[in-house]
Amino acid sequence: MSLILKQIRKSYRQPEGDRLPVLGIDHFELARGEQAALIGSSGGGKTTLLNIISGILVPDSGEVIVDGRNIVSMAEVVRDRYRASRIGIVFQTFNLLPAFTALENVLLGMTFSGRAVNRSFAVELLERVGLGHRLHHRPPRLSVGEQQRVAVARSLANRPVLLLADEPTANVDPANQSLILNLIRDTCKDHQVSLLMVTHSMEAATQFDRVDRLNEFNQPQLCTTGATS
C-alpha cells in the first residue's frame, strides 16, 4: 500500500477555547499506483486531510502510513525529509516560487530531499509536460496552464510514491483542465505513483476509476470522543 490512514482524528482549537472537530476517519487505503478522487464540499476538511497525509499537519491521533512508515510518529525534521522524498504535492494555486525559473522550481523540489540534485531528470520532467522550451522562464512569464504543468513536474522531481493533488484544475481555464488532469494521471501512471486528488468538482472526479466522497467516511464527531490533544 502507498497510503493507509488509521483512526485519524483532527480538531482545531477555537478562539473561544473549545475545539472544532474536522476529521474523523477510521480507515482509508490507497494501493501502489492507484488513482483516486476524493470529493468533498468546501470547508469539508479536504485540505486538512492532505496536510495530514503530507505531514504538514499532525493529527490529534491516528496513524498515517506512507510507503510502510507511520509519519505521525516521526520527528518533524525526519517527516520533512520524508515528505520531500516520498510525497509530491500539486496545489490549487500552483505555488511556484516567483524568484526561480521553471527549471529552478523543479530543482528546488529536489534540494530538500537529501539526495543529489538531478538536473537532467528535472529537464526531462519539464520536457514531458511540454515545457522544454520554457525552462528558463520565471512563473510570471508563464501562462496559468504552463504554471500548473511546472507544478506537476516539480511534484514528481523526487520520484515520490504518492502524489497529492489539491483541486489542481480549479484555477485553470476549462480548455486546460482535462489537459492538466490527463497530464497528472498519465505521468503518475508512467512513474507508478499513487494519486490522491481532492476536489469539489464532480466533473474532474469522474475521470477517475475510484471516486470517494469524503463526507461518507469522514465522521468529525468521532473527535469529541477520541481526541487526544
Partner 1 sequence: MNLLLIAWKNLLQRRLASALTALSIGLGVMLMVLVLVISGAVETAFTQRSIGYDLIVGPKGSDLQLVLSAVYRIQPPIENLPAMYLDELQADRRVVTAVPLAFGDVTQEGGFPIVGTTTEYFENDYLPGQKFEFGKGGSRIDQLFEAIIGADVARQNGWTLGSTFPILHGGAEGSLHDEEFTVVAVLAPTGTANDRTVFLNLESFYAIDGHEKPVDEIEKRLRDFYAADQDRLDQALAELDDYRQQLRNEEANGVAAVSPRAMQEVTAVLVKTRPETPFDAISLSAELQKGFQAMAVNPIRPIQRLMTNVIGNVQKALVVMTGLIILVSGVSIFVSIYNSMSDRRREIAVMRSLGAGRHHVFGIILAESALLCTGGAAMGWLTGHGVAVLASPWLIRRTGLLISPWTVSPWELTLFPALAVLGILVGFLPAMTAYRTNVADALNQ
Binding site for partner 1 (CB under 8 A): 47-48, 51, 54, 56-57, 76-77, 80-81, 83-85, 89, 91, 95, 97-100, 104, 107-109, 111-113, 117, 154, 158
| Cα 79 from Cα 177, distance rounded (Å) | 32
Nearest distance in Å: CB 209, partner 1? 28
End-to-end Cα separation, the chain, in angstroms: 28
From its phi and psi, is residue 189 left (phi > 0), alpha (psi between -120 and 50) or beta?
alpha
Dihedral angle of Cα 5, 54, 209, 211, to the nearest 10 degrees: 60
Q: At what angle do helices 144-155 and 119-128 cross, to 10 degrees?
A: 140
213: Cα within 13 Å, side-chain hemisphere:
4
Nearest distance in Å: CB 75, partner 1? 10
- Is the CB of 99 or the CB of 144 nearer to partner 1? 99
Nearest distance in Å: CB 56, partner 1? 5
Residues 156 and 150 sit within 8 Å (Cβ to Cβ): no
Nearest distance in Å: CB 60, partner 1? 14
- Is the CB of 46 or the CB of 208 nearer to partner 1? 46
Nearest distance in Å: CB 88, partner 1? 9
- Is the CB of 100 or the CB of 121 nearer to partner 1? 100
Q: What residue type is 189 in one-letter code?
A: K
- Is the CB of 97 or the CB of 202 nearer to partner 1? 97
- Is the CB of 1 or the CB of 57 nearer to partner 1? 57
